[in-house]
Structure 1
Amino acid sequence: MDTENWIAVAAGAVAVVAAVISFVQARHAKAQSQAAVEQVRVARQQLEQAERVHREQNEPYVIVDIQPDAPGSSLLVVAIENIGPTMARDVKVTTDPPLASASGDNLTERLQRGLARTIPMLPPGRRLKYAFDVSSRRFESDLPTAYTFTVEARGPFGDVEPMEYLVDISSWRETLRGERPNAKMEKKLSDMANSLSALTKAYQGANGSAIRAERQASVDRLRRELGGDDSAS
């Protein structure tokens, strides 16, 4: 093979090597580009998740429940409370089916009128209560015991996602509803009164003669004083 042929072969080999290198570099650049795009996508997702977590942690959280007005109380109330960290505004509560009380049409009307109003603001920890029913009357009636409450409100980032609460009070028929806050104190006072009564009876039984004699002496002394007043006049 002459020199020109060798040069041609060498040039062809160089061209092939250059093409291979270019191909490898192109694939590597494409892989780097795809990796960069994936990194941007992951970073964007992480940012969106962080923003969503921050928003959820700083939004108001308004809950609705039906519960006794106080431990041991037979009065049931509808309670609306903001347990979130920020102010809730324009709070609207709807219910399905409409609320009805077994304790009279007047209470039903007041309850429905009160919940129909938009609550302008509900600060963190604020709790509103609306008289709902008397438990004994409720469970003796044919009225519903389950209600679905829907809460809409605005927070510092705009409208809060509507929340739904299914409240069913039928299970309360078989549960203890707690005791009155002063029940323990009342029991202790009653026990003390019984103890004092027992001590009084025991004392009277052991010292009956002395007590009767003392009473008789007091009566005689009073008679003498009254008699002396009459003679003096």
Structure 2
Amino acid sequence: MVISDFITISISFLSVIIAGLATLQARTAALAAKQQVEQQRLDYESAQQPYVWADIRPSSIDGQMLQLVVGNSGPTVASNVIIRINPWPDHVERHHQLLIEALERFNKGHASIAPGRELRWNLGVGHELLAGTSKDRLCRVVINASGPFGPVEELSYALDMNDWRGSTGGALGSLWRVEKALDRLTIATAKPRRTEDEDI
């Protein structure tokens, strides 16, 4: 074997190694591109799913009434919405029947909740519900729903009504107090007044 044959064999061998490395790099790039496309598809589907939640919030009308609020903040309709709250949130007796009926419907599965929709049930005024300091008011919320791309990942968290203790309520952004003042003004101006002729 002459030196020229050795050089030719060495160059051929190096060419095979370089081609193998290039093929490996191309496969790695193709796999990364495929994974990126799959991740983008999953991100798109996730962004299009509904986001159903349950919370305890003050009424937007007067800021004093605490309400159980269920809503869908996602961009699509949530279907077969099942919400389990255990134990049921504290509430005053006058709101018991409507609240329990709603919670039982959600335990069985609510047909749908449209995007941006909120459902509200009164629990009671804050000072009625939060009297006393030692009572445990923690409840667990578990939410299941489906969207256009199938079931949404189960959401589970704790709600504690004691978190509202000491907070200030207010009807921010509401014209409720203005409406009530106008009602009183209307009643006051509708009363018959005595004229000067009647005084004579």
Contact in 1 for aligned 2:81/2:106 (Cα 8 Å): no
**8 Å Cα contact 2:50-2:74 kept in structure 1:** yes
SS in 1 for 2:2: helix
Change (3 A) 1:153 1:41: same
CA deviation string 1:98-124 (max 9, x = no partner): 114342397164454243230111121
Displacement after TM superposition at 1:47 (Å): 0.4
Once the two structures are TM-superposed, the CA of residue 159 in structure 1 deviates from its matched residue by 0.9
Superposed displacement of residue 21, structure 1: 0.7
Alignment check: 8 A CA contact 2:95 2:122 kept: no
Could you say which residue in structure 2 is the equivalent of 1:183? 177
> Aligned AA for 1:104?
E
1:157 deviates by 0.9
Check the 8 A contact 1:102/1:134 in 2, yes or no. no
Residue 125 of structure 1 is matched in structure 2 by 116
The TM-score normalised by the length of structure 2 is: 0.78
1:169 counterpart = 2:156: no
Alignment-mate amino acid for residue 78 of structure 2: A
| TM-score (normalizing by structure 1) | 0.68
Aligned equivalents of 2:109, 2:183: Cα separation in 1:
47
Shift of 1:184: 4.2
Quote the residue 2:16 is aligned against: 26
Q: Distance in 2 between matches of 1:105 and 1:34?
A: 72
The Cα shift of 1:32 comes to 0.5
Structure showing greater radius of gyration is: 1
Structure 2: tracts of 5 or more residues without a match: 186-195
Question: Alpha carbons of 1:190 and 1:174: their partners in 2 closer, same or farther (altered >3 Å)?
Answer: same
Contact 1:148–1:166 at 8 Å: present in 2 too?
yes
Q: Secondary structure in 2 aligned to 1:39?
A: helix
Q: What is residue 28 of structure 2 aligned with on the other side?
A: 38
CA RMSD of aligned residues (A): 3.2
Q: Map Cα deviations across residues 175-220 of structure 1 (whole Å, 9 max, x no partner).
A: 22113633246568989xxxxxxxxxxxxxxxxxxx8xx94xx3xx
Q: Percent identity?
A: 23
The alpha carbon displacement at 1:24 in A equals 0.7
CA contact (8 A) 1:87 1:123 kept: yes
The structure richer in helix per residue is 1
Alpha-carbon distance between aligned partners in 2 of 1:186 and 1:144, rounded to the nearest angstrom: 36
Change (3 A) 1:66 1:49: same
User: Residue 50 of structure 1: SS of its match in structure 2?
Assistant: helix
Residue 158 of structure 1 is matched in structure 2 by: 150
Question: In the alignment, does 2:90 pair up with 1:101?
Answer: yes
Distance in 1 between residues matched to 2:106 and 2:135, nearest whole Å: 19
Q: Which shows bigger deviation, 101-110 or 149-158? A: 101-110
The residue number in structure 2 matching 1:201 is: none
Q: Which has the higher contact order (CA 8 A, sep 6+)?
A: 2
Write the mapping of 1:193-208 to structure 2, written as runs, cut at 5 A. none
Alignment size in residue pairs? 189
